[in-house]
Structure 1
């Protein structure tokens, strides 16, 4: 059987060189049709065999056998003729001709059995193709066809989900699926995101949280602002990326196909020689014809061609279900060759959202830490600045009561001022210029009690934190320190990648050295390169690639796009990733889970091992059957069974990577 080059997709094509292009919506029908024709061929074969064994009239069992030939051989025969018109040699046609040749020399039962086994193999292959495609297309079918859009006055309008535009507000009732990616504006609920992110437990959603199309709302009603049109949702991007993956062949596959074209010509020439040369020396025609036909069948490279793409495409589909979109089979193959990883810092190894980590009242202020936090959060509450939101969030988490801020004024680059409980309160940057900053190593247990404001500011900065000074009636009363925190699981992901690649990941960041060094120390990264501009990151990646290393770069910002483009594999964090970065990347981590990166690398390596195992199995079957036919007497039906069986075996072996257990196993290996 010819190879199945494309096996999964959404609005994509499952490509079979021997049978044309099968649209994704037609693949299931195609598989069902193949099964029906194979079943019909089997029934007719059994009827002919029963008639032959029972001594029925020859015309009766011949009729059954001819029906079997027609049912199982018409499609590959027709496609083979079309291939000949295009000056292409089709192995399927050779198989049909071998069956007809067997019938011509009186081996009609053997020929019919060949057709049955051949048709059954094709049906199994088509079912495997449909199964792989359905594993991804099922995600798209989760997206609802309609959604409830709210008008300016709150009126409800049911519209097609495809008609939702960016900025529209949709109402998502309990138990309904979301029609588009967006941000929650009002309401609270739990949303089952397993279909997109793989989370086993529904995620709590409140105003400000992101939600995805196709996910299932829980018990609460949500008002969601649409952030992406239907064609740009995560689910749609899965379809587009998998479609691109199918149309792009891995280097191993391209090499095999190049060899296959020459091999097929050589195989036909060897078959003709195996028949003609002994015939010139007086060998029996019937025996030679059977041996030549058997050789042509068992020497066919079908299993070798099918050994490569199914494992890689199954791995792509599995990774997509678990929140990693790999854009092509080439990328999936390259991921497994990674021997060095480089990370961006902000938004990649860290959350990209500042958090309050230090609260220090100044000597003489008369304030406790809790009172200082309440004062700062009260004046910051009306502000939309990320640092202000972090202070307010920390106060609410601590259960601190906030007072009203009157006469609020925000001064960009300086800070905010308002009256709180009748006193003028301000919060903002320290007065001294940035040149006063000193970056030195500071012991974590260094005493800070009793330090002046300047000393506190210097100490907090030296710890890699952003400083906010709180003033009351013009007098400093406290210092706050805010820092971007590492993502959950960042340290374990770094450790897993170190085990997988045999080298510690590198940290490439535009941040200053003190902040980068402290994060690297927490995560176990020794190679730190800070203060980098985009072009500096490109140079750093090329330096890492020196000596033949295969480098995977992980980033999320626009400034990471050039580095992702020059890396062997570029991986973008999809949650907050810029459009340019997502476009430049070869793979996208949809749910921003760093643990997915070592897992997908381990899955890629497993896919490569499966490819190698398939090639070994296919080559062993071909070599064994060819030697048997040349050195002994290999029955035609047994040769067909061995050849087709090996083809189905390598196909099904590759499809094992579709199972969820394959992803879990890859995670454990990482």
Structure 2
């Protein structure tokens, strides 16, 4: 009979496999949670009805209110607003969408009412493809695992045959059947294939678990083994090489900067945009209280407009400045504001009517560990380090320069 330890090895092997299956199931469930269950569909006769997302078909028109998740991939037909695409692209700044723009399943409509035409059924949507990739990756077996299983099956047959032959040989040599059986069983235990069968899955699982604790996720053992031959790395910018959190970097105005920032924070207090949050944090860091602004409203894709004690106040980008009558040529702005405009950063202008009051630049900062991490890869002989982002090229090139990434390896303004 086999030694009890052999049974333990087999049990541990089954436990490791079950653990991997559970990890795959949890990953898929996390993706499924991004999907809304029901949505509003426009009736052909007018009005809307609440339907299950699974019942949507290409050509249907769904109505998205502020805060609603996009149920399936589609194209905006009516309305405009900002879409938080961080679940799909990782970008922390919502993207302004107009009629004709594509939207992706599981992203969030930040503001504005949108009418979206369904372009793909649920089974072919973005999250469905992500789930298929995760399932395929978890099911894929590393080459060493496949070889281990192939060799283990044949080795097991060889060991069993060898034990039988050893039992017969010992009997032929004159040993009693009890002694011959004992020696053959000893050979069977000593040459047990359990260690071979369990060694590779255990080693891979240990490596995957250790990397996960360090914040690195691999798409299964096959990807882990391939890493030994990798000579190029491509990194997402937002949230990976950078903190993913917008921060106010520079401020320019004509007058008291504290009053300027308090006035800007008062207007942005009515917005939920990440840039507005960065401005409010900057004011708080200076110990400033936002000045009161009333009748504030958002201008989708442009900024905010409100009223304070001195009149109409606006804050936003160049499009909003032009809408409010301000001269939009950088050379015609006050000198401090014009200097900021030449930075490769997000510019927020503050003005009253056609007059500029000042501006701030907002940007995502590189992680403190990003440059040392990239330098460590270079020291290990990695030939190429690339950065991928959906952000503007000017911003991407500035971040890439800070991290020592070659301009040719900076890929900006990418889509999902």
Query: Deviation per CA, 1:582-639, whole angstroms, max 9, x where unpaired?
Result: xxxxxxxxxxxxxxxxxxxxxxxxxxxxxxxxxxxxxxxxxxxxxxxxxxxxxxxxxx
Map Cα deviations across residues 266-290 of structure 1 (whole Å, 9 max, x no partner). Answer: 34445555566798xx743548766
Give the counterpart of 2:363 among 483, 486, 497. Answer: 483
Cα distance between partner residues in 1 of 2:188 and 2:296: 86
Pick the aligned partner of 1:417 from 280, 287, 305. 305
Give 5+ residue unaligned stretches, structure 1.
Answer: 1-95, 97-114, 138-164, 167-226, 228-240, 439-450, 535-558, 560-670
The C-alpha deviation readout for 1:465-485, integer Å capped at 9, x for no partner, is 112222235311212211122
Q: Which residue of 1 aligns with 2:249?
A: 357
The alignment status of 1:253 with 2:134, answered yes or no, reads: no
How far did 1:519 drift? 0.3
Structure ranking higher in strand proportion: 2
Contact 1:342 1:507 in 2 (8 A): yes
Q: TM-score, normalised by structure 1?
A: 0.38
**Counterpart Cα distance in 2 of 1:275 and 1:409:** 90
For residues 192 and 168 of structure 2, the distance between their equivalents in structure 1, rounded to whole angstroms, comes to 19
1:309 to 2:190 alignment: no
- Measure the CA separation in 1 of the matches of 2:351 and 2:195: 76
Pairing partner for 2:409 from 528, 531, 551? 528
> In structure 2, what is the Cα distance between the partners aligned to 1:285 and 1:360?
98
CA shift for structure 1 position 260? 2.1
Aligned to 1:235: none
Q: Following the alignment from structure 2 to structure 1, what is the Cα–Cα distance between the partners of residues 236 and 409?
A: 10
Paired residue for 2:155?
Answer: 263
SS class of match (1:505)? strand
Shift of 1:264: 3.0
Moved more, 394-403 or 505-514: 505-514
Of structures 1 and 2, the larger Rg is shown by 1
Q: Distance in 1 between matches of 2:193 and 2:222?
A: 22
Report 1:245-644 matches (<5 A).
249-271=141-163, 283-284=173-174, 286=176, 294-320=186-212, 326=218, 328-335=220-227, 337-361=229-253, 365=254, 367-430=255-318, 431=321, 453=333, 456=336, 459-500=339-380, 502-526=382-406, 528-534=409-415, 559=416
Alignment of 1:109-120 (within 5 A): 118-120=3-5
Deviation at 1:306, TM superposition (A): 2.3
3-state DSSP of counterpart to 2:289: coil
CA distance in 1, matches of 2:181, 2:238: 70
1:500 is displaced (CA, Å) by 4.8
Q: CA offsets, 1:41-90, max 9 Å, x none?
A: xxxxxxxxxxxxxxxxxxxxxxxxxxxxxxxxxxxxxxxxxxxxxxxxxx
Does structure 2 retain, via aligned residues, the 8 Å contact 1:379–1:405? yes
Which residue of the partner structure matches residue 620 of structure 1? none
- Where 2:291 maps in the other structure, the secondary structure is coil
Tell me the number of residue pairs that the alignment of Structure 1 and Structure 2 aligns.
304
Structure 2 residues not aligned, in runs of 5+ = 23-35, 38-107, 109-132
How far has the Cα of 1:336 moved from its partner?
5.3
Deviation at 1:309, TM superposition (A): 1.3
Q: How many Å separate the matches in 1 of 2:9 and 2:194?
A: 14
Structure 2 counterparts to residues 49-128 of structure 1, below 5 A: 96=1, 118-120=3-5, 122-123=7-8, 126=11
* Distance of 2:414 and 2:20 partners within structure 1: 41
SS of 1:258's equivalent in the other structure is helix
* Higher-helix-fraction structure: 1
- CA-CA distance at 1:297 after TM superposition: 4.1
Shift of 1:360: 0.7
Contact 1:260 1:301 in 2 (8 A): yes
Structure 1: distance between partners of 2:413 and 2:313 = 37
- CA distance 1:316–1:393, shift in 2 (3 Å): same
Is the CA contact 1:345–1:507 (under 8 Å) kept in the aligned structure 2? Answer: yes
The secondary structure found in structure 2 opposite 1:308 is helix
Cα deviation digits, residues 636-659 of structure 1 (max 9, x gap):
xxxxxxxxxxxxxxxxxxxxxxxx
Aligned-pair distance for 1:253?
1.8
Superposition TM-score, scaled by structure 2 size: 0.58
- For the 8 Å contact 2:385–2:409, the answer to whether it is kept is no
Give the aligned CA root-mean-square deviation in angstroms. 4.5
The answer (yes or no) to whether the contact 1:494–1:504 under 8 Å persists in 2 is no
Shift of 1:510: 3.3
Measure the CA separation in 1 of the matches of 2:269 and 2:182. 88
